[in-house]
Amino acid sequence: MPAGHNSETFISPSSLYVQKYDYGGVTLEFKLNPGTTNELMNIGVKSKKQISGIMVNPNYNYSKLPNDFKGWGNNHAMFKLEKTIQKNPIIKDPYNVNIGLGSEEGKALSIFNDNIIDYKVIGE
């Protein structure tokens, strides 16, 4: 997968969250190798604007990730809580954590791409 709009590539566990954006492209659902999220968390940073203490999975506490910094996209994945997954009507999910895969030559995007098993188009 190439880097996205404005060189920013984020993935989300919520199709509702993704569908609220319209970039004129397609929405894909990926099947990834087990452990891919943990692999990304090993090089992860969290958005400085986030609350601490949320859990991404039972084995790793998101609040322990270091804060993001300028240039994070080259060697890191950014974990960002996005509670509001739909605005009309409002639907909230306190555990909807989107993952920034960084720049086109970045380590996180490479990890993601290397772990893709399959994908399907779920929206155009």
- Mean per-residue pLDDT over the chain, rounded: 82
104 or 20, which is more confident = 104
Both tokens of 85, joined, read: 């997954």
Could you tell me the residue ranges of all domains in the chain?
A: 5-123
What is the per-residue pLDDT for 26? 80
**What is the C-alpha separation between 81 and 78, in angstroms, rounded?**
10
pLDDT confidence tier of residue 116, bands split at 50, 70 and 90? very high
pTM comes to: 0.82
pLDDT for residue 58 is more than 70: no
Q: DSSP secondary structure string, the chain?
A: ----GGG--EE-S-HHHHHT---SS-EEEEEE-TTHHHHHHTTEEE-TTSPS--EEETTEEGGGSPBP-TTGGGT-EEEEE--EEEETTEEE-TT-EEEE---TT-HHHHHHHHTEEEEEEEE-
